[in-house]
Structure 1
Amino acid sequence: MLNKVPEVTIWFWIIKILCTTVGESFADWINLNLGVGLISTAVIFTGALAAVLARQLSAERYIPFVYWLTVVVVSVTGTLYTDILTDSQGVPLALSSSVFAAVLAVVFGIWYARERTLSVHSITTRPRELFYWLAVLVTFALGTATGDWTLELTGWTAGVSVLLPLGLIVAITAGWRLGANPVLSFWLAYILTRPLGANLGDWLGSPTGDGGLGLGTALTSVIFLAAILATVVYLTRSRSDVIEAKEPTGTPRALNPARERGMLAYYAVVAVAGAALLIWANHQPHAAASGEEDTPTPATSHISPQEATSPFPPSEIAKFRTITADTLAKVNSGDQRAATNRVTDLESEWDDDQSTLEPKSEKAWSFLDSEIDQVLKAVRAPRPDKATEVGALNTLLTSLG
């Protein structure tokens, strides 16, 4: 059959990142803002994946709209599978990253043993097409797990975390230009586009207080869907990404086995440098400070509600208690967007009153400030967990009397 995947051009990478970003944002919007829930969202998208993949497999040639729609749905589905393991089953991100990496290695191993090639320029049989889409699904799950694990290790904001996968992709591109194996380079870059696109989506959609641009998941999804549609229309008309059935007339790049082996060492150095950067970031003071926010300091860990509130005017405490109760009610009703908006009021009111409240009792103020930080972190998480939100809000309500 004709090759039913696109040629790897600059347009391929642009639209791949766009699809990854919109997949992350759109899944978050359905899961959180519509109150569907993580498991139900995964079931919905698994059904959608089966439908679009069946359409892609039944096509007789490469159709840009069908192919890239499949990539978007695979992106969302792979992300949801990782989120279920992490958020619902409590599987550590280090473990899920390792498992997905092993699964991907098995997929590639069986694919190569059967077909003797992993090149996307030779997806011309049904088994190769099935192996291709299975590998794509696992790369999205692996990219999600490793991207979230990076954020967990470093404490970086989504905006800063974009730089790591971007830098690694640049390094891989340089390696490919210098003679690294093109198939290996392609799949390494393909995996890295997942954390790059997801972190880009989180950066655009996250509130400004969390280091984002505050566009929201809905607006981010609309912007990127429009960009994807425009790109697909262009590719459909230009056919610039169609792999021709015949061999190209130009002279292909000659492979140099010795140089490829040398570039394997280069990739190993890049991997070691990336790991060293993560270890360094994990041990930086800001990471420790982030961990300290999770647990109050010994000086304030045993403050009773009376000690925490008595130094401050009752009217101020009542104001914070009302906002907290309102946020809890919205979380319990499944209206995550309203809860996020309401918790912003808590942050604003607390920050505005800091100059008058903190001098009255630094100990009590620090204790409440720590608990409010936990509420903000839980409610504003990229993929909030309802149990965590409810726990943090109830703890703060107890402290507020």
Structure 2
Amino acid sequence: MVIDFATEIPAPARPVKVPEVTMLFWLIKMMSTTVGKSAADLLNADPRSGLTGYCMVLGILLMAILPAQVRSRQFTPWLYWCCMLLVGMAGALLSDSLIDQLSVPLTYATGLFCVMLWITLAVWHAEESSVSFRSIVTRKRELFYWLAILFTFALGTIAGDWVAENLHPGYAFTVLLLGVALGLVAVGHYLLEFSATSCFWTACVLTCSFGNACSDWLAQPVHDGGLGLGKLVTSGLFLLTTIGLVGYLSATRKHLTGSQWLE
């Protein structure tokens, strides 16, 4: 089965349940990835004392926030981004647990999550004839959307670790390398007129990898090539910034009036 990522559904009459894909969207998504990665790293440092409790709390929060997001009849910034943050934490925990707890090699784990993401998009496309991020107007489509987002977080985490550990470019150069990759996606969309949907899902994965690389660069000790802020400070800094930006979007309603980053 070949997924036609170029297939776009015309703008529906019902409200779309996701925000406009602006630069602020990518910035907040990147920082939510960093928060999830930092939290997962802190817990995996001593998994016996905190991992079980963390999974329970995360599961309870997801069961409360995700159904509320899916049942809502319009886009609500704080609800959407709380869901994105929790799904990001779940994706980071899923990928780190696969590597650290089950000792699955990074190459195999990367391939596994690539397959899982492809299967999700393939089934979604078979059911709805599109995987467009502009058509999230039904609960079924939104559930597919969040499942795909979960696997982009997991794949982005694993792929970022694979680049850092197998290519050994150093934390700063990894950030630069992934930033260039994101820039190439933008060039492909703007100048080469690649499908907006293809660019969106590619950028979703790369943004997660970029966020993880930023987390490592900021948190790791200076003698290891990082900036030495520590995981707790890094996670807190990005969490507070995320909260501030979501508050800004809620107050200004930029998610309704801003120009599309991918059109």
TM-score range with shorter-chain normalisation?
0.7 to 0.9
The question of 1:133 aligning with 2:140 is answered no
Q: How does 1:94-173 map to 2 (within 5 A)?
A: 94-173=107-186
Shift of 1:49: 2.1
Larger Rg: 1
The higher-RCO structure (CA 8 Å, 6+ apart) is 2
Is contact 1:42–1:81 with CA below 8 Å preserved after alignment? no
Quote the residue 1:200 is aligned against.
214
| Distance change (3 Å), C-alpha of 1:93 and 1:16 | same
Quote the residue 1:289 is aligned against.
none
Q: Deviations over 1:281-314 (max 9, x none)?
A: xxxxxxxxxxxxxxxxxxxxxxxxxxxxxxxxxx
TM-score normalised according to structure 2 size: 0.87
Quote the residue 1:316 is aligned against.
none
Q: What is the CA–CA distance in structure 2 between the aligned matches of 1:168 and 1:39, rounded to whole Å?
A: 36
What secondary structure does 2:156 align onto? helix
Is contact 2:71–2:139 with CA below 8 Å preserved after alignment? no
Q: What is the CA–CA distance in structure 1 between the aligned matches of 2:56 and 2:185, rounded to whole Å?
A: 35
Quote the residue 1:238 is aligned against.
252
Q: What is the CA–CA distance in structure 2 between the aligned matches of 1:129 and 1:113, rounded to whole Å?
A: 15
Counterpart of 1:61 (choices 49, 56, 74) is 74
The question of 1:88 aligning with 2:101 is answered yes
Shift of 1:47: 3.0
Quote the residue 1:392 is aligned against.
none
Shift of 1:35: 6.8
Q: Deviations over 1:45-103 (max 9, x none)?
A: 23322222122112221111111111111111111111111111111111111111111
Q: Deviations over 1:305-352 (max 9, x none)?
A: xxxxxxxxxxxxxxxxxxxxxxxxxxxxxxxxxxxxxxxxxxxxxxxx
Quote the residue 1:228 is aligned against.
242
Is contact 2:37–2:93 with CA below 8 Å preserved after alignment? no
Shift of 1:16: 0.9
Is contact 2:77–2:246 with CA below 8 Å preserved after alignment? yes
Shift of 1:31: 4.3
TM-score normalised according to structure 1 size: 0.58
The question of 1:17 aligning with 2:16 is answered no
In percent, how many aligned pairs have the same letter?
38
Q: How many residues align?
A: 247
Q: What is the CA–CA distance in structure 2 between the aligned matches of 1:34 and 1:208, rounded to whole Å?
A: 25
Structure 2 residues not aligned, in runs of 5+: 1-13
1:137 maps to a residue whose letter is L
1:201 maps to a residue whose letter is S
